[in-house]
Amino acid sequence: MQGIRRTFGVAQRRVRALVRDDLLEVLLAVAKQRPMKAARDKALLLVGFAGAFRRSELVALAVEDVSPHSHGLELLLRRSKTDQEGMGRTVFIPMAKAAERCPVIALRAWLEAAGIGSGPLFRAVNRHDQVSARGMTGQSVALIVKSAVAAAKGADAARDVAGHSLRAGFVTEAAITGMATATIMGQTGHKSLEMVMRYVRPVEKRRIASLL
């Protein structure tokens, strides 16, 4: 096994992180879709980024898990990859400074347009732009991310992204803005500092000053 690792390497596949500017560009392409799909995809992308959610966490959310606050929303994650016993944790989604990129406003607009008052937060939308009663799958999240990036940046760019690109984008953007590592971990729910540092270290390396 060591020989195989030496031959082929052990580097894990890294999906491209969708940072803030990438996301804003992608949202412009999303807005050109049919109304219901555009509303859902905008809400999903913004909430997924702002909450640093895994795709499985996004599709598990229900209306009953949403608690409104004066300056944002609190979402209850009943179970996640690192919480197999279902202890649960909450994630706060703050309102953005600009309405057009606010995850809170986008989510409210989607729920109102779709007439969703209970059950799955994010649902399938068929080719006739009709909203299904059933929730989405994690694979659907990945396909939405890829499709949106393809529309905004082209097919080549879409090959490097996945559902995890939203979560990776939050951590990377947070590191760029200087957010404390402990605060980042509080939002992502990471148990291991090492996992977060995989995204933070490259940002810190790019800040090194020239000695010449």
* Phi and psi at residue 81, to the nearest 5°: -60, -40
Query: Cα separations (Å) of 84 from 21, 54, 80, 88, 110?
Result: 34, 14, 6, 9, 30
Which structure tokens are listed for 78? 């009943």
Residue 31 has what pLDDT? 96
Is pLDDT of 40 > 70?
yes
Residue 82 has what pLDDT? 60
Q: Per residue in 54-101, pLDDT tens?
A: 999 999 999 999 999 999 999 999 876 665 556 789 999 999 999 999
Residue 195 has what pLDDT? 78
Active-site annotation holder among 5, 78, 164, 201? 164
Active-site annotation holder among 81, 134, 198, 201? 81
The answer to whether the CB of 166 falls within 8 A of the CB of 188 is no
Neighbour count for residue 6 (Cβ, 10 Å) = 9
Q: At what angle do helices 193-205 and 181-188 cross, to 10 degrees?
A: 130
Query: Cα separations (Å) of 103 from 52, 54, 83, 130?
Result: 12, 16, 25, 22
Q: At what angle do helices 20-30 and 35-50 cross, to 10 degrees?
A: 170
pTM (2 decimals)?
A: 0.87
CA dihedral 89→23→160→5, nearest 10 degrees, is: -40
Per the annotation, the verdict on 71 as an active-site residue is no
Residue 78 has what pLDDT? 86
CA dihedral 51→59→169→12, nearest 10 degrees, is: 130
Per the annotation, the verdict on 191 as an active-site residue is no
Residue 86 has what pLDDT? 62
Per the annotation, the verdict on 69 as an active-site residue is no
The answer to whether the CB of 89 falls within 8 A of the CB of 80 is yes
What is the SS3 assignment for 49? helix
Query: Which residue in this structure is represented by tokens 């200087």?
Result: 178
Residue 110 has what pLDDT? 98
Check whether domain 13-203 has CATH 3.90.550.10, yes or no:
no
Of 121-135, 142-156, 197-211, minimum mean pLDDT range:
197-211
Of 9-13, 98-102, 152-156, 187-191, minimum mean pLDDT range:
9-13
Active-site annotation holder among 42, 54, 123, 146? 54
What one-letter code names the amino acid at 153? K
Query: Which residue in this structure is represented by tokens 């279902």?
Result: 86
Where in the chain are the domains?
13-203
Per the annotation, the verdict on 199 as an active-site residue is yes
